Amino acid sequence: MRPLRRSSGPLAALAFVVMLGAAAALSPAPADATILVDNTSSAAGPNQNQQTLTWTHTVLSSNAILIVGVATRQGSAPSSVTYGGKALTKAISITDSDGNNAATLYYWPSSNGALPVGSASVIVTMPSNNFAIAAGAESFTGVYLASPIDATASNQNNNSAMPTLTISVAANEVVVDALAANGGISLPTPGASQTPEWRICSGTCDGGQIIGAGSIDSVGASPLPSVTDSWTMQKAEQWSLVALALKPTPTAALTVAKTGSTASSAGGLIAYSVLVTNAGPSAANGTAFSDPVPAGVTIVGTPACAVTSGSAVCGSVTVAGQNVTSTITTLPANASVTFTMYGTAASAGSYTNVASITPPSGVIDPNPTTSSLTTVVASTGVTKTVQNMTEGDTGGSFDNGKPGDVLQYVLSFTNTTGVALPNFKLTDTVPASTTYSAGTAACVTVPTGLTCTPSYAAGVVTWQFTGGSLAAGATATVKFQVTVN
C-alpha cells in the first residue's frame, strides 16, 4: 500500500473495461486504527442492454471489508449484488428526480463471516435487461467490522455540473462515495480532499450511457461534524451521488499490573492485587481478565473486583479450579478496575502468578501485556511460645506440665506478605490432654486501626481482626490459657 494521494487528474473514458489495482493508505491516525485501502477494481457494461455485470475483485488482506458502488442508467437500483456468491447489503441508494440515473452503495455484512482473502466475482444483477451499468469495488482494512458504517448521505440533481453532498463524520473515519451521471462528457474530477478510486463509463460513453465514479475522503484525527464531497463535471447533467462513512476499528491501550506478596510463610496469606487500566482512546467494554493461580496455592475466600477510577463497571468474578476469571462489563477510556484475591501455600517454595487481559472482539490493543508476581514462601510467619504459669517459668517453644498446671500460649503473627492485610483472623487448636480456660483468650498487641475480638468454640481459639489492615511487616500478638488434664 502507498500513501493516499490528495490530487487527481483527468482519466480517459473506457468502454467495457475491468480495472484492477491496489490503492493507497489513508493518512495515519494517532488514535483508533488507521483505515487502509486494500484494493480496488471496476467494470462497465458494453451498452444499455445489460441485466448483469460481472468482474473479478481481489482481496489482499485479512480482516477486510468490501464496498461496491453501482451507477445505473434507467433509474433503478440493482436487484442484488454478490461477491463470491454471497449477497452484499445495500447501504444507501438514490435516483435523480427525472428517474434516469441511480447511485447505490453496498457492503459486505458481518453476517457473511470473514471476507476471504483472494479473488472472487462481483456480480451486479438488475431487474431487467435494459440497463447501462458502471461499478467499482473497494476493499478496506482497519474498519470496525462488527458495525462498519457510521452514517450515510445522498443527493441528486437533474441539471448541475457539480455533484455534492454533506455527510456526518467522526474522527478517523473514511468517507466512500459513488457517483452516477449521464454519459457524453469527460470523466468527472473529485474534490480537493478526495482521492479517486474508480472512474469508468459504459459503452462508448455517449449520451445514452452511464458514468460511474467513486472516491474516498479521510477525516483525520480531529473530530469534525461533517464532510462535504464534491465532483466537477464538464457541463451540467443529471446526476445522483451517495456516500457512507466507515468507522475505524476501536483501539484501546490496555495494561495489567500485578502487585502483592513477594514473601510469605507456609500456611500464611498470600495477597494478590491486579490493576487493569484502559488508556483509550476507545472503550474496551467486555475485556476478559484471567489469573491462573499457581499450583500449590489454595485460593482463600472469594476474589473480588472494585472500580479504581473512571466510570468502569465490574463483572462477576468466577473461580474454576485454579483459574480466576472475569469479564469487565464496562471499561471506558481512562478508567480502571482492581482485582484482589488471597491464597495460602502449605509448602515452602517459589510461586509465580501471571495475570492477562484480552480486549473484546472488534477492539485492538496495540501492545498486549501480561503481568507476573513471584512469591517466595518461607516456613512460617507465626511464632508460638508456651509458659507454665503454675510453676512460674519463663516459657519457650515447649514446656512440661503436670495435671492441674496452667499453661499459657502466646502467638505472634508478622505480616510478611509485602502488602497490607485487611480483616484477617488467627486460629489455634487447644492441645490434646488440656482444657481451655474460659475467658483467657486475649489480644496482646493490636496495631493501630485494628480491632481484635477473641472467641472460643469446639476446641478452637479464634482472634478476628477487623476495622483496618495489618501493615506489611507489622506484628499482632495474642494469647490463651489451658489446664493440663
Least confident of 55-59, 80-84, 401-405: 401-405
What pLDDT, on a 0 to 100 scale, did the predictor assign at position 22? 34
Tell me the per-residue pLDDT of 337-360, one tens digit each, with 9 for 90 and over: 999 999 998 887 889 999 999 999
User: How many residues are listed for the chain in this entry?
Assistant: 485
Residue 409 is predicted with a pLDDT of 94
Alpha-carbon distance 478 to 415, whole Å?
Answer: 14
User: What is the average pLDDT across 16-35?
Assistant: 44
Q: Report, in angstroms and rounded to the nearest whole number, the Rg of the chain calculated over CA atoms.
A: 36
418-438 pLDDT, tens digit each: 667 777 788 899 999 999 999
- φ/ψ of 110, rounded to 5, equals -65, -25
Which residues does 93 contact at the CB level (< 8 Å), separation at least 6? 77, 102, 103, 104, 105, 154, 242
- pTM listed for this prediction: 0.65
Domains of the chain, first to last = 2-246 (no CATH), 252-378 (2.60.40.1530), 382-484 (2.60.40.740)
Nearest in space to 172 (alpha carbons), one of 107, 121, 126, 219: 219
Distance CA 15, CA 12 (A): 10
Residue 379 in this model has a pLDDT that exceeds 80: no
Q: Per-residue confidence at 273, pLDDT binned at 50, 70, 90?
A: very high
Please report the pLDDT score of residue 113 as a whole number: 95
Q: Which residues contact 436 (CB under 8 A, 6 or more apart)?
A: 430, 456, 459, 461, 480, 481, 482
Give the whole-angstrom CA distance, residue 102 versus residue 100: 7
Whether residue 194 has pLDDT greater than 90: yes
Could you give the CA distance from residue 180 to residue 52 in angstroms, rounded to a whole number? 17
pLDDT exceeds cutoff 90 at 181: yes
**pLDDT at position 172 over 50:** yes
CA separation for the pair 42, 135 (Å, rounded): 6
d(CA 485, CA 385): 20
Per DSSP bridges, beta strands 460-466 and 287-292 are unpaired
Give the CA diameter of the chain.
Answer: 121
Q: What is the pLDDT of residue 378?
A: 62
* Grid coordinates of 167: 455527510
Q: In this structure, how many other beta carbons lie within 10 angstroms of the beta carbon of residue 109?
A: 15
**Looking at residues 406-424, what average pLDDT do you find?**
82
Mean pLDDT of 40-44: 98
Least confident of 7-11, 204-208, 257-261: 7-11
Three-class secondary structure assignment of the chain = CEECCCCCCCCCCCCCCEEEECCEECCCCCCCCCCEEEEEEEEECCCCCECEEEEEEEECCCCEEEEEEEEEECCCCCCEEEECCEECEEEEEEECCCCCEEEEEEECCHHHCCCCCEEEEEEEECCCCCEEEEEEEEEEECECCCCCEEEEEEEEEEEECCCEEEEECCCCCEEEEEEEEECCCCCCEECCCCEEEEEEECCCCCCCCEEEEEEEEECCCCCCCEEEEEEECCCCEEEEEEEEEECECCEEEEEEEEEECCEEECCCEEEEEEEEEEEEECCCCCEEEEEECCCCEEEEEEEEEEEEECCCECCCEEEECCEEEEEECECCCCEEEEEEEEEEECCCEEEEEEEEEECCCCCECCCCCEEEEEEEEECCCEEEEEEECCCCCCCECCCCCCCCCEEEEEEEEECCCCCCEECCEEEEECCCCEEECCCCCEEEECCCCCEEEEEEECCEEEEEEECCEECCCCEEEEEEEEEEC
- Label residue 437 exposed, middle or buried (CB < 10 Å: 0-12, 13-18, 19+): middle
* pLDDT for 7 beyond 50: no
220 pLDDT exceeds 50? yes
Nearest to 98 by CA among 203, 277, 239, 263: 239
pLDDT in tens, 119-153: 999 999 999 988 999 999 999 999 999 899 999 99
The residues facing 383 across adjacent strands are 412
Distance, first Cα to last Cα, the chain: 89
**In the predicted model, what is the mean pLDDT of the chain?**
88
Confidence of residue 375 (pLDDT cuts 50, 70, 90): confident
pLDDT band at residue 223 using 50, 70 and 90 as cut-offs: low
Averaged pLDDT for residues 363-385: 82
